[in-house]
Amino acid sequence: MNKENLKLMADYIETIPQKKFDMGKFRTGEYKERECDSVGCVLGHCTVIDENLLPIDHDNNIDFPNWSLEFTGLHPFYHLEKWQYLFSSDWTAVDNTPVGAAKRIRYLIENGLPQDWCMQMNGKTPLSYLK
């Protein structure tokens, strides 16, 4: 897990206005641009802070799972629990805010994955990152 880059993501995502943020939405239009110009989630917005060449998929769009692996050290197949805790669309029903997303990132960096992360994400237990 790349803590330095995750901290950059937490700092950046807090600057995104709520009206441009939704954990359940993906970029609209072209996925080739570094900067997200539509409503999007953490990953979609944060590609703009990566100065490296972004990985491209077979459709010539940004390969977000592999970008996540390269930038954060987390991939949805190899680090499923941590990746879902930070980036899952399931957060839309519980905490669909850029501030909440930033707090989750910082919590994971400082404390690791909460044992009840899945229960938190589904609104069944209190959110540990708000304490």
Q: At what angle do helices 64-72 and 3-13 cross, to 10 degrees?
A: 120
Task: Read off the amino acid at residue 73.
Answer: G
Angle at the Cα of 55 from the Cα atoms of 51 and 56, rounded to 5 degrees: 130
pLDDT value at residue 44: 83
- What are the pLDDT digits (tens) for 9-29? 999 999 999 998 888 876 654
* Rounded-to-integer distance, Cα 66 and Cα 95, Å: 25
pLDDT value at residue 10: 97
Query: Is 86 a residue whose pLDDT tops 80?
Result: yes
Mean pLDDT calculated for residue range 81-110: 95
Average pLDDT, the chain: 88
Q: Report pTM.
A: 0.90
Is 2 in a helix, a strand, or coil? coil
Mean pLDDT calculated for residue range 82-92: 93
